[in-house]
Amino acid sequence: MRILFLGDTVGRTGREAAASALPGLRQRLGIELAIINAENASHGFGVAPEMAEALFAAGADVITLGNHAWDRKEIIPYIAAHNRLIRPFNFPPGTPGAGLATVALADGRRAVVANAMGRLFMDPLDCPFRTMAGELAKHRLGASVQAIVVDFHAEATSEKWAFAHLFDGQVSLVVGTHTHCPSADHTILAGGTAFQSDAGMCGDYDSVIGMDKTLAAARFLRKVPGEKLHPADGEATVCGLYVETDDATGLAKRCEPVRLGGRLSQTLPHV
């Protein structure tokens, strides 16, 4: 299975760049499963229903969220009715929406996409490690499903690596989101799970992790609350990860970064 994961979409410029690039990437790379994190799509904070609809229309199969999942309150009834928009599964029981989505491909193959959130320097949610183990008891990689992808939305690189090693061989891909900086550690672990500690963002990199650099830098200088942060609006870089899996095992055969447009060095897999 050919899988494309695009990192945190930040503001208008990020979501428009992702929506514009996604159809071409699907065709050029032969993508069969496309996932995008959109928790920063609305002015950097949350996602609105019409924004999710635009990303689905552009070719996203599943949209994941994170710590800004509920910043746009109108997403609450929408997520309850749309099972391909998912939030971290380790939110407490009773939280609207679901933490996993099952996608059926046209040829009958099935993939599970899961969204988890770390706890180091983040909100004190349920344990993502124990919760993930419970969810994996319901799905058998290479048997009941041909791929399992986990968006691990976390601050600490150590927590992301620990999560990936713990579930190595049990999932196809663990990819980190939240820090917005594409890491250079994309790899296939010993047990066959693809991993990158952060996919990067779809947003303007002439910024402070996607937000206007002048306002963000001033907060560090003065330590006084000022104007509300808003996303930078220059040309965006679309950042993500491309993974190919073996349908017989569900494990990764190939793992390569994607960077398209904007200020960062460009890279696309050759297929």
> Is 180 considered catalytic here?
no
User: What's the rounded Cα separation, in Å, for the pair 257 and 152?
Assistant: 17
85-89, 120-124, 212-216 — which one is most confidently predicted on average?
85-89
**Percentage of the chain exceeding pLDDT 90:** 94
- 269 pLDDT above the threshold of 80: yes
Arithmetic mean of pLDDT over the chain: 96
Q: Where do the structural domains in the chain lie, given as residue ranges?
A: 2-260
Q: What is the pLDDT of residues 133-191, one digit of tens each?
A: 999 999 999 999 999 999 999 999 999 999 999 999 999 999 999 999 999 999 999 99
103 close to 62: Cβ distance less than 8 angstroms: yes
171 close to 142: Cβ distance less than 8 angstroms: no
144: its two tokens = 């009941």
Q: What pairs with residue 177 in β-bridges?
A: 153
pLDDT of residue 222: 84
Q: What is the DSSP string of 70-130?
A: TSSTTHHHHHHH-TTEE--TTSPTT-SS-SEEEEE-TTS-EEEEEEEE--TTS---S-HHH
Please choose, from the candidates 183, 133, 129, 173, the residue with its C-alpha nearest in 3D space to the C-alpha of residue 150: 173
- 125 pLDDT above the threshold of 90: yes
pLDDT band at 11 (very low <50, low <70, confident <90, very high): very high
pLDDT band at 65 (very low <50, low <70, confident <90, very high): very high
Please choose, from the candidates 155, 150, 146, the residue with its C-alpha nearest in 3D space to the C-alpha of residue 166: 150
Q: What is the DSSP string of 207-240?
A: SBTTB-HHHHHHHHHH-S--SPP-B--SPPBEEE
pLDDT of residue 157: 98
pLDDT of residue 225: 72
pLDDT of residue 151: 98
Q: What is the reported pTM?
A: 0.96
pLDDT of residue 248: 95
27 close to 50: Cβ distance less than 8 angstroms: no
pLDDT of residue 40: 98
pLDDT of residue 223: 76
- Assigned fold of 2-260: Purple Acid Phosphatase; chain A, domain 2 (3.60.21)
236 close to 14: Cβ distance less than 8 angstroms: yes
**43, 68, 165, 178: which is the annotated catalytic residue?**
68
Pairing of strands 62-64, 85-86: parallel
pLDDT of residue 28: 97
Q: What is the pLDDT of residues 194-237, one digit of tens each?
A: 999 999 999 999 999 999 999 899 888 887 777 789 999 999 99
